[in-house]
Each structure stands twice: as C-alpha cells, then as structure tokens.
Structure 1
C-alpha cells in the first residue's frame, strides 16, 4: 500500500490543470474534480491489478486466475485418473463461476500451467497442441485438459477447513482465498507478471532441493541463508542448459533481486565427412529454436558471425532438442561457439525480481523469506486440518458411545420408539430415559435395523478404540509444536519423493570467479570447479571454458604430421618430425601411415577399392607429442571424416599438393592383393573433385597398401604363402589414374599379397620384416600364432614380377601368413583392446620359423 500511496502523492504533486467533469449519480448530474477522480480511479485500478491479477501469492505461488482454474477443475472432478475434457468447458466454468474476465486470458493461464518448457512441475495435463517456444497453442475447442498429479498436492485437504473461503464475484458461490499447497510452488515453478509500478520475474527451482531447504528450516528455524543455499544452490530450469555466474543468484537469494546468464548446452561433433558442427541439445529458458535460427541468419548477414555454413533444426518429440550448426573448415569451433553465445539468444540473461503478495501487500523477498512464508502457511494449514479432523473424530466418538448405549437395551429402545406419537417425542424420551444428547438420540432414530446385530457391537467397540487413538494423536499434534513441524516435514518429504526429479540445469561459476570449487554449495552434485548438475561432464565444462573470446576464430596454419592408426583413428601432430614409435606400457595404437602436411592443407585417404578421398587436415583432432611418441587415444575415426561406404576400408594416407601449390613430390604407390603394383603420376588429379579412382582394379582384387615412393626407394611385397619380394621402385613406371598397374610379384595358386611397404635406400639397414603365421580358416582372434622379426637387408633384391624368397618357415598347424608388415623399425604390435603385444627379438634367419605370441594381434605398425 505504501507504493500506491506514493503514486497518489505523485498525482497530487503533478501540475494538473484545475478542471472538472460531470457524472450521473443516482439520476442526478454532479460535478467532480477531475484530478481527484483520476487519482482515485488510478489507485483502484493499480490495486486491482496488483492484488487480483498480476502478482502471485507467496503462500501457494499462484495468481488468482491460476488458483481459480485449479480449484474449479478439482470441483469438476478432472483428476489424473479421469478422462480429459475440452479446455473450452474448463474455461467456460471458470469464467462463469469464478473469474469474470475474458476467456482468452483464462485459456492462456491454463495453457501455461500445462507447458513443460515453462513449468518445472506442470500442474495441468494437456492433451493436444499446447504450443511450443516458437508457436502458440491451438484454440481451446481443439485441446483437452485435466489436472496433473502435482496439482492434487496443491488442492489436497481443501475441504477440511484448511483455508478461508470468500464469496465469488456475484455472491452465489464461494472460492478459496488461498490453496493449501503441500509444496513451495512459487519457488518450484517460478512466476512472471507485470503490475502497475512493479513486476515479478522468478525462475523455477528443483522440487527436491526446495523441499530439502524447507524441511531444514522447519527443523532449524534460525537457519541462515548460507545454510539454506546448501540445499538450493540455484535455479533449475525446465529446459536444462547452463547457468553461468552464481554471484547474481546469491545476491537474489539475499535481497530478492539479481541477475544470471543462461547458456545453451553444446557439443562439438563430426556431422559428416570432413565437417565439424556444434550441436545444441538444451536451450536457455524460454528460448525456442526458431528464434535462435532467425538471430543467427541476421548475424551472418550482418557479418557479425563467421565460419557458419548452415543451421538445421532436428528437434522432435522423440529425441528432444537438437540444433545443428555446421562449421566451415579452417574455423575454430570453440571460437564460433563463443560468437554464437555473444550474438544470439543461445546465451541469455534472466533478471530475478522476487515480488509477490504477503498478506495482501506486494513485497520483495529473498530465499529465506520465501521459505518462511511458505512454512508458516503450511503450519497453519496442518493446524487447521488437525483441528478439523479432531472435531470430526470427537463427533463420531460421541455418536458411537450413544449407539452402544442403545444397543445394550435395544428392546427397550424399540418399545419406546413404537410407543411415541412422533419422531420429536421419541427423541425427547430417548434423551430422558437413556441420558443421551440430542445428536445421539437423532442418530439412533436414523439407525438401520441391520446394524442391530452382535457383530455390529464388535465393530462399534473397535471403532471407538480406533477413534480414541486418533483423537489422542491429533491432540498431541496440537499440543506440541515440534510434533507439528515433524508432520509438515514428513508430508513435504513424501511430495518430493513422489514428484521430484533430478536437477537438469548445470551451475557454473563465472570465468575468473576465483576458487569457485570451494564455493560450490554443499548438497549439490559437483561436476567440476563451481559446477553442479547431472549434465556437467568434464567434456562439457572444458568446452564451456574453452569457448572464450580469446580463442582465435580461424585455426592457424602450420606444419604438422597426419597419423593413421591400425584401428582406423586419424589425428595430427604439430611439426613435421616423424613419430618413431607409439605407446609404451600403457594401452596404445600402432601407426599405419604418417605423412607431412599443413594444418590448412589436405591429404589423400586411399581405400581398398582403389579410390582416393580428400581429407581436410584441419578436420582431424590435434593430439600432443609425448617425447617423440604419440598416443592416438584422442584421435577421430577416419570414417567420420571421409565419405566412404561401410564396406570400404582406408589402407593408407598419402600427401597431396596444397590447392594452388602444385603436386606432391613423390608418386603415390599402390599394391594389391593380386600382386599388382602401380605408381601414379604426380599431379594427375581432377579439378574440384572430392574423390577419384587411382587404379583400375580387376574383379575381386583390392588394395592392401598405399604410400609414396621415389625412384631410389625399395618396394617389398609379402604374400600369404610366406614369400617376400624386394625390388627397386624405379622399375615401376608412373601411370595415369585410369591405368591398372603392372605385375609386382608372381603368386602361386591360392596365394595373395597381405602386406607391402616402401623403404628409402638409406634406411634399409634399419628396416625390419614382421611375419605372423597361423592356420588357414581359423577364426579371427582365436589364436596368437607365431611371429618372426627379420632385418630387411637379409632379403636380396630381385626383379619385378618374380616370385621372391621365403620369409617364414611354418610350424606344425601353420599353413599361411595371417599378418605381416615391412618398414623402418622398431615395429609395434597391438591387441584388440589397444594393449601392447610383445614381438620376439630380431632373427637373422630370413627363412626361420617364428616364436609363439602371447595373444592374437589386431595390427602391426
């Protein structure tokens, strides 16, 4: 009222012209002072808007129209176990009986109570199109509704004198002034509204957390704000997302006013071959995908956003929110994400203004005050309910006592009634003869004859004992405030257990907030420094931290080395120094290929079908260099970066000339399972193509090796029947893309090439041959076999298209080579789980037998 009084004083002080107007009152025309009439009417209007329309009550968290909707639906019997009814019927009943305003306003309030993206705990179960964040609902004649289960907790016990009722607008019915409210609905579902001279804007919270704080306040009435914030660390928004900056929330919990930032939850994923994208799975509170897309288009058009190729809204009811934003190659996804947060509603601010009605007066309350108002209300409700139930139990016990007296002398009672002239006389005589009260005598007169049995006496005695126990318990609650608070606390716990859900919103301290981890509230689910919530994974937090304004927008160019592992992972290392080995004692992966390139350049991925597919180096994951070694655990599956069929397999990487910088230096060399070799002419690449054939394969043939080879290098081919052929690469004439190659090794019937390698002339002394023998037809992974490591210089140089020399002598049970590798050592072998598999010491005998392996191999590199 002080605000309204101030408004009136402001009207007095305003320099309003002295004027008057005429009005008709009771058939007479009278003059009224215009300034006084405007002041009075404005104050009446302001009070009506504040008290009857815009602001929620702090006790049940509802505005009058919301309270009337829930109460009327309860009176209509629209409970969760009943069928839905048309919303038009609900709106009509509410408007005709309780709320004399427009049907549009009533329906809008009904729709809001049913929207899961608006309410943290929806109170209406809607059936039909109740709208979305971007579209409005269907008309009331098309939608149906009934009460949701949590709404029953708000209206429970309303008929047990728990709240006061007042007449409706035409004094024909009564309506509750407040609902009993078994949980703190104002904090759980929040509120928003604009009144005259004031507004309210309260975020939703988690039911379990709020109930925990209320129960703590019940048990410890002197609890501090910090104690309560240990239970309620911050808002919990229906759509999830992230809240960045908790200081504004703490200020709002202290004073009732504050501000925080909400962010969409993002992940950087591979959305196609050679393409990265940002995928948003949770959006800020009350922000829809269409609004985000529209702002992104505006920002791209105005050049505020760069590096975005497209935006796709893949949101549906089955998979939830999924907004995919494509990133141009060469752009840093973390920097683009920071731009999106800065220029679009993907990062939005929420201003907390906890204005609500307390005893009819608008007040701004902090967290502790809001909980105190609810706790007082709930204590009052339970007290009144207990008194009501105690009165009912006492009335029933009084009637049972009279009934037992009558049954003991039932024959005399019947004779007395039969001899009476009318019911009034019988009632008086019963009171006089048996010393009964008027209610007891009236109840006996209305008694049914079937109750006059011996069994009924037993039932009545049991009922009297039960009533005595209930009366004693109810009297104890009224006599002991501690017991009363325990009853309220148990009921709150039951509501939280029935309707509570885990936290959805991640809470993050603002960047540079200091020791945020020390400030994370107790009782929250800490997921990192200053973060709470089930979605606060380490990846999400690191992504949030990295999406800073200091991150360069484009990925800087520079020399690097692109690596391909035996399990199909691809990654890049800064610098062009070769990686000599991988792994160590920990799980690792062996390398199939490593080529020198630049970050903004490209390499070719050659598949076993003879195709070369472009691979943008910038799309690969960058991994750290570890003392000359590299662990590809942070690599990306190559299938996610190149466009190949499920049946295709990448066998190697080859360098390509950067666009506009000419061809690569050495020709690409290929070896096939049928013993064919080919060197491809440098620069023989189609323009603007993403993939092309580099060899024409015969039917049934496939590529087993791809690399580069200059004229001074040596080629080595290993067949399944343990033959190895080494010859000079100069003997293979470079051919065009469409050529089919030439004979490399002469194979026996049934044999095939299983491995090949290229070794520079100056490194032949360091090269080794690894051969693994096994049984033909054995299931993969069922046996280790025997392995042998031999220096390559033990094998003589032969002519191309010859049969080679034997490289492995089979033991009993072995009839073919199941794996082989040739290259500059040391060689590394890995198992199916990435674990290192020890290879035997080098054997100088080129045709010796192998040593047993401790387990099956998945790859050699």
Structure 2
C-alpha cells in the first residue's frame, strides 16, 4: 500500500489511495494478446474471400460510396484519405495513403484497383504527397464492389458505431490470388505472389463444376504465378510446394537479350526485372560488383527507361568477354535474379490459416456462391414486393371510381387506408401505395404497362425461385459470371515459366542461358583460331578456324553477300585493312562481330561496316584484309597502273594504327592485296581482257617506302581491274570476267560474264602483257569486273542480292553470257 501525506483540507479517510496489486506477467500477456489480435485481424492479414486488408477494403468501399467511378473525374487523393480516415479507419493518414498508392501501382498489383493520376511512385522512388495526386476507382474495383446495395454481404458498425461498412466485399475478382498480398503481423506474416486472372478464373470455374477436383487438376489451369513486371520464373518445384502446402519459394530472373549497342560493342539489354526490383537498385549492385571485382567484363550500365518504351536497362560489355558469361555473373551477383518466398496466410472465418491453391480457390468460390445466393434472395424479395403492389394497383384501376369515392368520403388518410383495405381486400402496403398514386397513372396505357410488368415480374420470380432451389443452376450462374469477369478484365500472361535455368518453358517460352548447376561458358573470349572476313558490301566479321570462307564447299559464304577477303588469325590478334590509297589500318579482331554457328550458309548481315571499324579518307576504300603477324608471308599488292610489290613481313610499326606500304604515283591506286609465299602465283587482270600470272618469287620483298616494280605491261588506256594470289592448294581455281561498256555508269549495265578454269591460262614473265581472257560482244569494250580464286565463285548485286553466274566455259578467250542483273562484286 502507498499513502499520500495527510492534508488538513480533507478528511483522513479520503486521503487513502486504493492500489490494486496485479501480476506483471499476467498483465503483459493479456495486453500483448490484445495488441496481437488487433494487428492480425484489423491490420496486417487479408481476408481470404476478397483478398483485402481492412484499410484496403475501406478505401475501395469509400471510393465507391463517393461515386468515384471510372467514368467520373479524378479527385484529390487527400480527399479520399480524409473521407476514409474520418468515417471508417481510425488511424493516421500516412498508412491510408500508402495503402491507396499500392492499390494504384501497376508494378505492384497484377490488376490495380485504383486509377491514379500523377506521381504514384516507381520501383526506385516514392510517390508524391496526397495533395499532389488524384485518384478514382479502376474498372476492376467496380467488380469488387458490385452488388453492395443488394444485401450480398454483412454490414458492420464503423469505429464509432455511427456508420456501417461491409465486413467483406462481394469480390467478383479472385483478388487474393490475382494481386497477391504482403503483410507482417505479430508472430506470423503473409507473402503471396500475383497470378493471371484468366488462369485463376479457369481453375475456379473447374472447381465450381467439379467440387472434388484435385490439386493436379487445378494446376493444369494455374501453372505458376504471373508477376506484374514479367520476367522469368526459374524452377517450379517451389511453386508446386506452395500450391500444395501454402509455403514455398521460387527464383525470378530478368528478361534480357544480347544486342549490338554500338557498331563495335555488344551489350545486355534488360527489358523486364524481377518482381519489385528497380533498375537503380540493379545499377547500384553492378557498380558495387565491378568495384569489388566480383563482376568482370562490364564497361557501363545505363538506364534508358521511359514511359513510351518502358523498362530498358543497357549493360555494355567490354571487348573480349562473352556476353552470355557476363549475363550469368549478373544473375549470380545482382538482383537480376531474385528469390520470392511464398507464405499463403490469410483469414478464413476470422482465423489465420495457411492455404494451398485448392483451399484458396475453395474459399473464393464459396464466397461467390454465397454472394450470388444472397443477391438472388434479395432480388426475389424485391420483385415479390413489387408484384404485390402492382396487383393491388390493378385492383384499384378496375374500380377507380369507387376508390376515389372511398378516399373522398374519408376524414383522414388513416381512415381512407382502413376503408380501402376492407372494401377491396388490400394489404396495408397496397393501400398506402394507392393513396400515394398520382392521377396520371390512371390512364388506359398505364393499365397495359402494369399488366405487362406483372407478367415480367412473375417470370422473374419463377426464375429466381428455380435458381435458389437448384444448386446446379446456382453454380452454373456463378461460373458464367466468372467467365464474364475474365473476359472483361483478363490480360495475357507476362511471366515466362521455366522448369530450370536451361530447360524448356512449360508456358512455351525459349530457354534462358545456362544457370547454376550447369557448366558455364568461359568469361573471356579465348585466343582461339578464327578467320577475319571482309564482304563485298563492306562488312567485317570473324568466324571459326574450321569454317574457312571460300574454301571447299563454301559453307561459310553469305546468303546475300560474298566474302571478298579472308585472313586466318586468332580472336585476340590484329589484322590489317589494306586501302586503295596504299595504307594499312590496324583492326583488332575482337572488335569484329562473331558469326553465329549455323548448319547452313551464314549471313554477314550482322557484320560491322568498314567505316565503323577504321577511319577512311575521302574516296578511300578497303580492298583487302591482310595479316600482321611477324611470321606471315610477305604482303603482295598491285596497283591500277600495273605496279606490283611485296612488303617485308616484319616491317610493321608496333605503335601506329595506320601506315603506308607503297609509294603511289599520281592517279594510281591499289586494286588488291594478299599474303603471298614464293610458290604462290600473282595474277593481274586488266580492262583490255589481258590476264597475266607469274610466281611471287619474281617479286623480291621491299620496304614500306618503296614504290614497287613493274608487274604488267598495259595497253593504251588499260588499267588493272583485279589482283589475286592463287595458292597451289586452292581447289580448282577459276577466272571470272565481266565485260561491258566503259562509258556506262557503274551499276547500270548487266554485261556478260564468263567463268573459266584458271589452269587454261599459261604463265608469262613479269612485266609482260599476258594473254586474252575474254572476247567482247557487241557494245562491250572493257572488263568492268574480274575475280580469280578458288571455286565456287559467286556474284552479288549492289544490295547484296545474289546474281547467278554461268556455268564454266572451257574456252580461254571465249565471249561471255549475258547476266540477269548488274554485278557489284565477285568472291
């Protein structure tokens, strides 16, 4: 006991304070249980029937009560928050607005219930204040509240018992499964994944018509979650566990593809991220990974997301790294792969329960059956009441004069009501309705309308009574309404389902790159042998060593292009680009795009344009690729004025990106070049149809500054049109010549072509005129193109389209066959 000190102003018996001894443990237990009960049932956990927490339910209901339908103007969010807080939710405005924001976020909910106008936040940023945003009901929210005025759910008092609110919404949409839920209560939590409305409704309809359906039956309709942000779900075992027990986990992956972000560099373009993962978070983790050396091969990460094109996160890859291997690193060390733990806890009959897929569907289906049954009873009651009034009105219209007389001779309305009931045998509601009747209703047409309404009401009552009496009819109606909801609000699946990282999708999607548990590709591109290619249309690429272009069966040729030059090299080496100005430009092989493997002929359409790989001067063009290694054979080249030269192999500057390999005279230019051993043949073809070939050993190697030596004696006005190196091991080399008129504009004449075996042309000495290779037809006076190389030879037009060449002609100096289209290049 504790006593206050006595004061003279009060009697002693009033100064004693009564203190009750209470056990602290008991008091704490009771208080904690009350707090836990309040959090579990009034805040954190959703109801399994409508999938909403109390604050969410009150927001949707209050917006419906305010008439904020989708066809009405937006109102300030602060007004909605104030109405909810003042009438239904006795808590602060901040949690109410936070709940309303989540209901409006398309990246949080699969089917938002609030239509927000303004900044409602993003995956990386919060929303604007409620005074700056506006909102109204989303169309789907109308389905959640439809029928509230037809006694379909119980109404309970609000916090001060002055108003009423629904204990649960009618929920024509399976909101808990479609939008998921998250919440932390006392001693328990819930975390549910969103699903596709069409799939969930299909499973629910199957359960309505087959109440004994098994979980496996239902999973045929619902194969897995469907996240608002799309992406991929990797591994479905955890999903099946969650559908069976209510608990499980799965991994989500970003949707990414490998593209050429610049002409020289590849990148990873991310268009979808895991659920609730924002691009800024991914970029932050990438920077941390690069700084800590966990991530390699990344040069930059840029967020190009906008409202028009959606999410676009570009991750640039350094030269020399496999984009597929870098992507695997990103999945491992960044939120581009994330895990989601399912814990399906919801309130069922006021009790928290952990529910599997079948139980969740059963609760919602049972709720919808109960809603439709209560709605049907309400409508039946209303139609019976209306039919009762219509029948009384018809009685009054038949004897309207007597009705008027009874009313006029009555002293007051109570006496009139009593006399009408006794004279015409009416009920009290019928008599009251007749007393309130307007005289305009007493016309002949009014009677016909009442008789028609009477018949319609009887038919509607009979239908409703049959519906309530037959459970099968009731379930059929519920199923039809579910189908209508799915057709109205359903959208296609966004998330791809994969059994495992490298497997096929159960939803028909392609496999993603190798994941954990599989042999990963090497991170860096190895210095493996390959071929550097130059196409006739000016594209550069590289390919594997076992796919030699222009050799054997020609399996590495392009469908719509021809290989003009090819150099054996390695992936991390460099090759030279020989130009018409007599310069060699250094080109790293790693900068060249790699041709994808293919069973048939590949296409160089994805190659790198020459102008993007090297810097050319005005009117300068690349005529060939050449090796730069010290052990390579000397570089042989020829000019349009018949000069030939072989450059010393080791005469390559190590610190320069461009250098001259021949001193050209005015008006001269290089027409071709290739590495040439002493045993190889150098071949020159001139515009006057002369073909000369002689051993490369006849041309001694010189330094870079030398001007070369005479290679071919040219006639008046003739120029060298082609230069090639023929090796002894080349299979069946051929000579292709295309003749035309020298005065015609390039690319406008088709001309005639001839294909002849190279073996038919005899060798001549250096600086001689060679032998004739082509006889002109009428209108032809020059060779406009020529090619000497391994068979088969192929021609292409200016746009890269193939142009057929004639069959080989055994005549060394015969005339050509007219072509179907102009030829741009031969390779």
TM over 0.5: yes
Q: Does 1:532 align with 2:515?
A: no
Q: Is the 8 A contact 1:274 1:619 kept in 2?
A: yes
Q: Is the 8 A contact 1:190 1:205 kept in 2?
A: yes
Q: Is the 8 A contact 2:632 2:675 kept in 1?
A: no
Describe the SS at the equivalent of 2:149: coil
Q: Is the 8 A contact 2:577 2:624 kept in 1?
A: yes
Aligned twin of 2:23: 33
Aligned twin of 1:571: 542
CA distance 1:720–1:379, shift in 2 (3 Å): farther
1:602-613 equivalences under 5 Å are 602-605=574-577, 612=585
Describe the SS at the equivalent of 1:286: coil
1:368-387 equivalences under 5 Å are 368-387=358-377
CA distance 1:441–1:72, shift in 2 (3 Å): same
State the alpha-carbon separation in 2 of the partners of residues 163 and 355 from structure 1. 23
Aligned twin of 1:519: none
State the alpha-carbon separation in 2 of the partners of residues 720 and 48 from structure 1. 97
State the alpha-carbon separation in 2 of the partners of residues 706 and 441 from structure 1. 113
Structure 1 residue 118, shift from structure 2 partner: 0.8
Comparing 160-169 and 498-507, the one that deviates more:
498-507
Q: Is the 8 A contact 1:204 1:238 kept in 2?
A: yes
Gaps of 5+ in 1: 1-18, 513-527
TM-score by length of 1: 0.84
State the alpha-carbon separation in 2 of the partners of residues 440 and 694 from structure 1. 114
Could you give the per-residue CA deviations for residues 68-94 of structure 1, whole angstroms, max 9, x where no partner exists? 111111111111111111111111111
State the alpha-carbon separation in 2 of the partners of residues 100 and 240 from structure 1. 37
CA distance 1:759–1:251, shift in 2 (3 Å): same
Could you give the per-residue CA deviations for residues 653-676 of structure 1, whole angstroms, max 9, x where no partner exists? 524436xxx58543363757x989
1:139-158 equivalences under 5 Å are 139-158=129-148
Aligned twin of 1:223: 213
User: What is the root-mean-square deviation of aligned Cα atoms in Å?
Assistant: 4.0
Aligned twin of 1:263: 253
CA distance 1:317–1:663, shift in 2 (3 Å): farther
* Among candidates 469, 472, 480, match of residue 470 of structure 2: 480
State the alpha-carbon separation in 1 of the partners of residues 389 and 668 from structure 2. 99
Describe the SS at the equivalent of 1:119: coil
* Among candidates 588, 605, 614, match of residue 587 of structure 2: 614
State the alpha-carbon separation in 2 of the partners of residues 189 and 421 from structure 1. 64
Could you give the per-residue CA deviations for residues 812-839 of structure 1, whole angstroms, max 9, x where no partner exists? 5767666542223232346899997654
Aligned twin of 2:810: 844
Structure 1 residue 33, shift from structure 2 partner: 2.0
Comparing 182-191 and 645-654, the one that deviates more:
645-654
State the alpha-carbon separation in 2 of the partners of residues 340 and 57 from structure 1. 38
State the alpha-carbon separation in 1 of the partners of residues 229 and 567 from structure 2. 46
TM-score by length of 2: 0.87
Structure 1 residue 687, shift from structure 2 partner: 6.1
Describe the SS at the equivalent of 1:503: coil
Q: Is the 8 A contact 1:338 1:547 kept in 2?
A: no
Q: Is the 8 A contact 1:292 1:346 kept in 2?
A: yes
Aligned twin of 2:755: 789
Q: Does 1:632 align with 2:598?
A: no
1:138-537 equivalences under 5 Å are 138-510=128-500, 529-532=504-507, 536-537=509-510
Q: Does 1:599 align with 2:574?
A: no
Describe the SS at the equivalent of 1:272: coil
State the alpha-carbon separation in 1 of the partners of residues 608 and 517 from structure 2. 26
Structure 1 residue 31, shift from structure 2 partner: 3.1
Describe the SS at the equivalent of 2:106: coil
Structure 1 residue 479, shift from structure 2 partner: 1.1
State the alpha-carbon separation in 2 of the partners of residues 585 and 403 from structure 1. 93
State the alpha-carbon separation in 1 of the partners of residues 89 and 60 from structure 2. 12
Aligned twin of 1:520: none
Structure 1 residue 276, shift from structure 2 partner: 2.1
Aligned twin of 1:9: none
Q: Is the 8 A contact 2:578 2:626 kept in 1?
A: no
Q: Does 1:44 align with 2:34?
A: yes
State the alpha-carbon separation in 1 of the partners of residues 24 and 419 from structure 2. 72
CA distance 1:290–1:680, shift in 2 (3 Å): farther
CA distance 1:305–1:38, shift in 2 (3 Å): same
Aligned twin of 1:525: none
State the alpha-carbon separation in 2 of the partners of residues 739 and 432 from structure 1. 133
State the alpha-carbon separation in 1 of the partners of residues 506 and 655 from structure 2. 47
Q: Does 1:135 align with 2:125?
A: yes
Q: Is the 8 A contact 1:279 1:325 kept in 2?
A: yes
Could you give the per-residue CA deviations for residues 447-502 of structure 1, whole angstroms, max 9, x where no partner exists? 23333322222322222222222222212211111111111111111111111111
Structure 1 residue 613, shift from structure 2 partner: 5.8
State the alpha-carbon separation in 1 of the partners of residues 580 and 210 from structure 2. 72
Q: Is the 8 A contact 2:627 2:675 kept in 1?
A: no
Aligned twin of 2:634: 666
Describe the SS at the equivalent of 1:240: coil
Comparing 413-422 and 455-464, the one that deviates more:
413-422
CA distance 1:177–1:782, shift in 2 (3 Å): farther
State the alpha-carbon separation in 2 of the partners of residues 188 and 697 from structure 1. 75
Q: Is the 8 A contact 1:589 1:632 kept in 2?
A: no
Structure 1 residue 262, shift from structure 2 partner: 0.8
Structure 1 residue 697, shift from structure 2 partner: 9.8
State the alpha-carbon separation in 2 of the partners of residues 432 and 701 from structure 1. 126
CA distance 1:403–1:268, shift in 2 (3 Å): same
Q: Is the 8 A contact 2:170 2:368 kept in 1?
A: yes
Aligned twin of 2:532: 562
Describe the SS at the equivalent of 1:491: helix
Structure 1 residue 382, shift from structure 2 partner: 0.6
Gaps of 5+ in 2: 5-16
State the alpha-carbon separation in 1 of the partners of residues 704 and 326 from structure 2. 42
Describe the SS at the equivalent of 2:115: strand
State the alpha-carbon separation in 2 of the partners of residues 640 and 492 from structure 1. 60
* Among candidates 788, 791, 794, match of residue 822 of structure 1: 788
State the alpha-carbon separation in 2 of the partners of residues 296 and 85 from structure 1. 41
Describe the SS at the equivalent of 1:178: coil
State the alpha-carbon separation in 1 of the partners of residues 402 and 745 from structure 2. 99
Q: Is the 8 A contact 2:558 2:602 kept in 1?
A: no
State the alpha-carbon separation in 2 of the partners of residues 545 and 165 from structure 1. 53
State the alpha-carbon separation in 2 of the partners of residues 581 and 508 from structure 1. 40
Aligned twin of 2:10: none
Structure 1 residue 207, shift from structure 2 partner: 0.8
Aligned twin of 2:734: 768
State the alpha-carbon separation in 1 of the partners of residues 327 and 588 from structure 2. 24
Could you give the per-residue CA deviations for residues 290-313 of structure 1, whole angstroms, max 9, x where no partner exists? 111111222222222222222122
State the alpha-carbon separation in 1 of the partners of residues 187 and 636 from structure 2. 77
Structure 1 residue 365, shift from structure 2 partner: 0.5
State the alpha-carbon separation in 2 of the partners of residues 791 and 687 from structure 1. 41
Structure 1 residue 143, shift from structure 2 partner: 1.2
Structure 1 residue 854, shift from structure 2 partner: 6.7
CA distance 1:820–1:173, shift in 2 (3 Å): farther
Could you give the per-residue CA deviations for residues 12-49 of structure 1, whole angstroms, max 9, x where no partner exists? xxxxxxx99x9xxxx96533221111110000000111
Describe the SS at the equivalent of 1:572: strand
Q: Is the 8 A contact 1:393 1:471 kept in 2?
A: yes
1:72-87 equivalences under 5 Å are 72-87=62-77
Could you give the per-residue CA deviations for residues 736-775 of structure 1, whole angstroms, max 9, x where no partner exists? 59999999886977x987x523123646994322134568
Could you give the per-residue CA deviations for residues 705-734 of structure 1, whole angstroms, max 9, x where no partner exists? 454456775554556775656577766986
State the alpha-carbon separation in 1 of the partners of residues 233 and 98 from structure 2. 28
State the alpha-carbon separation in 1 of the partners of residues 584 and 82 from structure 2. 70
